[in-house]
Amino acid sequence: MMGNTMSLVSAALKEGRVAPTELCQRCLSLIKSTKFLNAYITVAEETALKQAEESEKRYKRGQPLGVLDGIPIAVKDNFNTAGIETTCASNMLKGYISPYNATVVQKLLDQGAVLLGKTNLDEFAMGSGSTDGVFGPVRNPWSYSRQYKEKSVPKSHSEDKDSNWVITGGSSGGSAAAVSSFTCFAALGSDTGGSTRNPAAHCGVVGLKPTYGLISRHGLIPLVNSMDVPGILTRCVDDAAVVLGSLAGHDPKDSTTIQDNFKPFELSDLTDVSKLSIGIPKEYHAPGLSSEILALWSKAADLFKNAGAKVIEVSLPHTRYSIVCYHVLCTAEVASNMARFDGLEYGHRSDMNKSTESMYAATRREGFNDVVRGRILSGNYFLLKQNYENYFIKAQKVRRLIANDFVKVFGSGVDILLTPTTLSDAIPYMEFIKEDNRTRSAQDDILTQAANMAGLPAINVPTALSERGLPVGLQFIGRSFQEKQLLTVAKWFEKQVKFPMIQLDEVKRHDHGVFQHQKSASFLEHRT
Amino acid sequence: SKLFSGSQVQFAAPPNSLVSFFDASLPGTLPVLNRRCVEAAVMTGLALNCSINKKSLFDRKHYFYADLPAGYQITQQRVPIAVNGSLSYSLCIDNKMSQMVTKTVRIKQIQLEQDSGKSLHDDVRSQTLVDLNRAGVGLMEVVMEPDMCCGEEAAAAVRELQLILQTLGSSQAVMAEGQLRVDANVSVHHPGEPYGVRTEVKNINSIRFLAKAVDYEIERQIEELESGGTILNETRAFDSKLGCTVPMRDKEGKQDYRFMPEPNLPPLILYNARSLPANMNHQQVVNIDWIHERLPDLPSVKRAKLVEQYGILPEHSFTLLNEAGLTEFFEDVIKQTQMKPKKVIGWILNDLLSYLKQHSLTVKESPVSSFLLADLLNRLEKKEISSTAAKQVFAELWKGEGKTPLEIVKEKKLQLIQDQEDLERICQAVIDGQENEVMAIKSGNRKVLNKLIGLVQRETQGRSNPVLVKQLLEKKLSE
């Protein structure tokens, strides 16, 4: 049951085969037993159960609000949730209880979803490992999977299983881990340079980055306002479409959302791909791309070709400038967005009270980690009058070039681009931390970032297991606001590759224990 | 409401009672542009003959201060909403109202931006109290070119701007409530040479102080330069008690505001009739032409109309517009009286207005209503009372005891003698009693006639119409 897709569980709820409260309890219980993953910062047990109770009442009346009614979900801790702590994994907001819900959170709640808790992330979403938050790093559930354990050779008998765990990727690692370890059926992440797709790839789940402007950012604590989008993490592409349908659309509170009416869609089963044109951008054969992933990418291209689609190599010539461009624009916006954290109105306030200036300085030194402070300093440097033209303006121009690369390619008849999502499978934490956050981000973002620059929709689809038994995903990038086409193709691909389900002992134990009195074995490892 | 949020705007509300999540800079909140503010800016731009930029942009201006919760102000630094306008204003030469000259100051630009909150420094307890009620309120910054040459010009220009804003309704522009704030940039130079270094003068709280501050600063700079010193490009505060400018405590040295485009606000696009797309929702667009068509008459137009319609002098029209409610009062009286406007204006400006000023009252607070004044003027017109008597009645009306002009006239026995025979009798009596004067008059000294008129007036206790008396006397003397 726990490993099921949201759509299947939703059907079970509707048919009364499982009750919302039971489902909620099981998730909460599983969260407790997978605490070592450190995926959750806050578990909102009481409110979740209340929500589940309300949902149950509705189902009993035969009036569920929709497919999401009673479905346990998790939300990344950089979304505002009224009455539930929102920390952004930072000392600056420890204990901060927001008075309002982010629009996307409100929409989910309005649909009857059950909010289990807030998930862990890199501090203020800055990072590609989910390792740099004040609550500690998130562990990839696959570290404890049978698939990984079978393939990993312990260096010595006394080696703790714990020391070899791999990262989730980031910055929405907590959300990805939560979905991957079955503690919830969908989770919200955010995506600024790949922060939803990257951990999705490492954790073997679907990670959707919608087109910029499609989903409201009101209530999402911003990293880079001109690139941020709320991200959707689910176990299958259909589920992502369902969640997208409940979230997309104009929000008067967010002036960057488009005005056009959005119509939620159901994904049809694509049978004929012959009219499809898949582009393979050669620049995405990036330095550092593992041979394993390169091979997988190639195999995927062949899959499309053999099914009759047109697969052509394309060029996005300005890809190699995207890291530097992103660095300038991102740090500049960070410097600006973080200026509000002064300890006066909310959040951490230092005890230093000699003067306003000293209070500000101490508060910000105490509240932010090195990564955040580093980006603020860089960003302010680029925004200085004497540097603005050479850095910020230049970067904006480069951004335009990068976006135009996509326009040209899509304009030439290509429907979807197929690329790797990450350079390799998830690496062990001990190895990851050998390099600093900036270096890691620069390396890891290369394949995902350009889509944020151009505001395009992109999705990670779990594809296969690596030699080490860890998930590897591939990325599809689509045209602006053409999520339907993007997801349709992704769904076809997902069907072809039949990515295996994670074999987590904890979950198995869990499911068995609770299900002893129920005949639901058929749900355990069944997936369409 | 505020420029980017729905909070109310209200002077002197309890501290921090008008603060939305966005105003307090709670993380995750986003700005949403207030349409009314845009319309007000467009109206003001049009009234000041500006070009309205069909596309304008918003920027962030960064600095840290306790009353700036987000650490930046949203403003329009790159492309403001209106540029290149002009403002015409009039001055009296040599303080003579009858000699007015029109001048023009160029308007560089008008930009929309957020106001900051207020900080109150409590040095006793070593603390600063922050009130965010004002944070985020919409401001229009009107930037003028340095075309003015003295305090009087600056004051006249700002006064005219104030009237325009009030007429448009885009601001109440009351300086005492901070609705209109003025910073003066002053520099001096020898004719023919480039402009000197300028200083910025802040803390000017009234138009009168503006003139004083500007004139003081001009003198200070001249003195400084003539004694071999230099002018620093600094900010100075006007001290109204001492009547001088003092350097402001420079907290941070030269600031780099690290301007950056505001990423949460798309460019502001305005339309005119030609560029308006057919299928656009009317609610979603601001149409410049539509606003232009609905602009009310500006003060200059109103003044011209008053002069034309009522035959009053231009300087009269200035006074009428300068006093809130006075034009309406004047026109109300006109409607209710047969007296010609050219005569009514005298009563309005010389009598009513001087009484109001003496007692520091506004037109609204006048104890004499337009109805009462019109009644009084009618009686004067019908020659029921003399003009001297009318002034007496006015003084009585001013006491606001609720008496009508008629009641006062009766009470004080101010009615002019209507009976002509009676009057003739008295005239004859005076003539009979003043032989010498009569002879003088008959021999050509017309001036002495006034003495006789005066005597008749005395005899009648001022209740005779001097014009009529003169006629009667002349008639009798020529017999």
User: Are A220 and B28 inside 8 Å of each other by CB?
Assistant: yes
Among B1, B23, B29, B265, the strongest candidate for a mutation testing the A interface, having the largest count of A CBs within 10 A, is: B29
pLDDT of residue B444: 80
Q: Which of A311-325, B403-417, B435-449 has the highest mean pLDDT?
A: A311-325
- pLDDT tens-digit readout, B19-47: 999 999 999 999 999 999 999 999 999 99
Scanning the structure block, which residue is given the tokens 């001036």?
Answer: B447
CATH topology of domain B420-478: Arc Repressor Mutant, subunit A (1.10.10)
Residue A384: which of B24, B128, B258 has the nearest Cβ?
B258
Return d(Cα A509, Cα A514) in angstroms, integer.
9
Q: How far is B128 from chain A (nearest CA, A)?
A: 8
Return d(Cα A248, Cα A260) in angstroms, integer.
11
As given in the structure block, the two tokens for residue B339 are 């007296």
Q: Are B385 and B414 in contact (CB under 8 A)?
A: yes
What distances in angstroms separate CA A279 from CA A318, A472, B95, B329, one per listed residue? 16, 20, 81, 78
Residue A255: which of B64, B70, B266 has the nearest Cβ?
B266
Q: Which residues pair with B245 in a beta bridge?
A: B238
Q: In what order do the strands lie in the sheet with B100-114?
A: B51-52, B82-92, B100-114, B138-144
pLDDT of residue A152: 76
Residue B260: which of A98, A217, A332 has the nearest Cβ?
A332
Q: Is residue A358 part of a domain?
A: no
| Chain B residues with CB-CB distance to A342 below 8 A | 64, 69, 71
Return d(Cα A452, Cα A471) in angstroms, integer.
23
DSSP track, A317-381? GGGGGHHHHHHHHHHHHHHHHGGG-SSSSSS---S--S-HHHHHHHHHHHHS-HHHHHHHHHHHH
ipTM: 0.91
| Chain A residues with CB-CB distance to B27 below 8 A | 80, 86, 88, 93, 98, 221-222, 340-341, 346
- pLDDT grade for B401, boundaries at 50, 70 and 90: confident
Return d(Cα B405, Cα B412) in angstroms, integer.
10
| Chain A residues with CB-CB distance to B31 below 8 A | 255
What distances in angstroms separate CA B188 from CA B174, B191, B223, B243, one per listed residue? 30, 9, 11, 19
Q: Are A455 and A480 in contact (CB under 8 A)?
A: yes
Residue A380: which of B29, B33, B258 has the nearest Cβ?
B258
As given in the structure block, the two tokens for residue A431 are 């190895």
As given in the structure block, the two tokens for residue B140 are 């229009």
User: Are B266 and A256 inside 8 Å of each other by CB?
Assistant: yes
Mean pLDDT to the nearest integer, B293-321: 92
* Residue B412 or A216, more confident: A216
Q: Is residue A335 part of a domain?
A: no
Q: Are A76 and A174 in contact (CB under 8 A)?
A: yes
Max distance between CA atoms of chain B, in angstroms, equals: 100
- pLDDT tens-digit readout, B48-105: 999 999 999 999 999 999 999 999 999 999 999 999 999 999 988 766 666 789 999 9
Mean pLDDT of chain B: 90
Return d(Cα A389, Cα A404) in angstroms, integer.
21
Residues of chain A with pLDDT under 50: 158, 513-528
Count of residues in chain B? 479
| Chain B residues with CB-CB distance to A84 below 8 A | none
Scanning the structure block, which residue is given the tokens 């997936």?
Answer: A527
Q: For the stretch B54-67, what's the b/e string if a residue is b when 16 or more beta carbons lie within 10 angstroms of its beta carbon?
A: eebbbbbbbbebbb
User: Are A345 and B25 inside 8 Å of each other by CB?
Assistant: yes
| CB-count burial class (<10 Å; 0-12, 13-18, 19+) for A202 | buried
What distances in angstroms separate CA A490 from CA A192, A275, B339, one per listed residue? 21, 15, 88
Q: How far is A32 from chain B (nearest CA, A)?
A: 30
A171 catalytically annotated: yes
As given in the structure block, the two tokens for residue A523 are 């749900």
Mean pLDDT of chain A: 92
Q: What CATH number should be reported for the domain holding residue A223? A: 3.90.1300.10
A195 catalytically annotated: yes
| CB-count burial class (<10 Å; 0-12, 13-18, 19+) for A527 | middle
**DSSP state, residue B120:** E
pLDDT of residue A512: 55
Chain B residues near any Cβ of chain A (below 8 Å): 21, 24-33, 60, 62, 64-66, 69-72, 128, 130, 256, 258-260, 263-266, 284
* A222 shares contact with chain B (CB less than 8 Å): yes
As given in the structure block, the two tokens for residue B345 are 């204006």
Catalytic-labelled residue, pool A10, A145, A195, A378: A195
Q: pTM for the full model?
A: 0.88
* A253 shares contact with chain B (CB less than 8 Å): yes
- pLDDT tens-digit readout, B345-363: 999 999 999 999 999 999 9
- pLDDT tens-digit readout, A399-451: 999 999 999 999 999 999 999 999 999 999 999 999 888 888 888 899 999 99
> Going by DSSP bridges, is the β-strand pair A186-191/A72-76 parallel, antiparallel, or unpaired?
parallel
Q: How far is B32 from chain A (nearest CA, A)?
A: 6
**DSSP state, residue A79:** B
| Chain A residues with CB-CB distance to B72 below 8 A | 336, 339
User: Of A290-304, A351-365, B247-261, B304-318, where does mean pLDDT reach its minimum?
Assistant: B247-261
DSSP track, A12-53? HHHTTSS-HHHHHHHHHHHHHHTGGG--EEEE-HHHHHHHHH
B127 pLDDT above the threshold of 90: no
Return d(Cα B147, Cα B187) in angstroms, integer.
11
Q: Are A333 and A379 in contact (CB under 8 A)?
A: yes
- pLDDT tens-digit readout, A123-176: 999 999 999 999 999 999 999 999 998 887 766 554 555 678 999 999 999 999
pLDDT of residue B96: 61
Element holding A476 (H helix, E strand): strand A471-477
Residue A255: which of B28, B33, B62 has the nearest Cβ?
B33
Return d(Cα B384, Cα B396) in angstroms, integer.
17
In sequence order, the 6+-apart residues with CB closer than 8 A to the CB of A157 are none
pLDDT of residue A509: 62
pLDDT of residue B250: 61
User: Are B62 and A336 inside 8 Å of each other by CB?
Assistant: yes
Domain count for chain A, please give it.
1
User: Are A383 and B62 inside 8 Å of each other by CB?
Assistant: yes
| CB-count burial class (<10 Å; 0-12, 13-18, 19+) for B199 | buried
pLDDT of residue A523: 32
Residue A340: which of B32, B71, B263 has the nearest Cβ?
B71
Type of residue numbered B142: V
Q: How far is B316 from chain A (nearest CA, A)?
A: 50
Catalytic-labelled residue, pool A55, A98, A143, A171: A171
Which residue of chain B has the CA closest to A221? B28
Q: What is the dihedral of CA B169, B322, B395, B467, to 10 degrees?
A: -120
* Chain A residues 101-130 with a CB less than 8 Å from chain B: 102
Return d(Cα A49, Cα A72) in angstroms, integer.
10
Q: Is residue A181 part of a domain?
A: yes
In sequence order, the 6+-apart residues with CB closer than 8 A to the CB of A317 are A283, A405
* A340 shares contact with chain B (CB less than 8 Å): yes
Cis peptide before A171 (omega within 30 of 0): yes
Whole domain around residue A173: which residue ranges? 6-152+162-323+394-519
Type of residue numbered A13: L
Residue B64: which of A100, A342, A388 has the nearest Cβ?
A342
**DSSP state, residue A215:** B
What distances in angstroms separate CA A390 from CA A45, A319, A328, A398, B255, one per listed residue? 51, 20, 10, 12, 20
Catalytic-labelled residue, pool A7, A10, A55, A76: A76
What is the Cβ-side half-sphere exposure of residue B156, based on CA atoms within 13 angstroms?
A: 23
Q: Is residue A526 part of a domain?
A: no
In sequence order, the 6+-apart residues with CB closer than 8 A to the CB of A252 are B32
Return d(Cα B148, Cα B156) in angstroms, integer.
10
DSSP track, A397-432? HHHHHHHHHHHHHHHTT--EEEEESSSSSPPBHHHH
Q: What is the dihedral of CA B113, B114, B115, B119, to 10 degrees?
A: -140
pLDDT of residue B253: 59
Type of residue numbered A443: Q
| Chain A residues with CB-CB distance to B118 below 8 A | none
Q: What whole-number percentage of chain B has pLDDT above 70?
A: 97
Q: Is residue A294 part of a domain?
A: yes
Q: Is residue A375 part of a domain?
A: no
| CB-count burial class (<10 Å; 0-12, 13-18, 19+) for A403 | middle
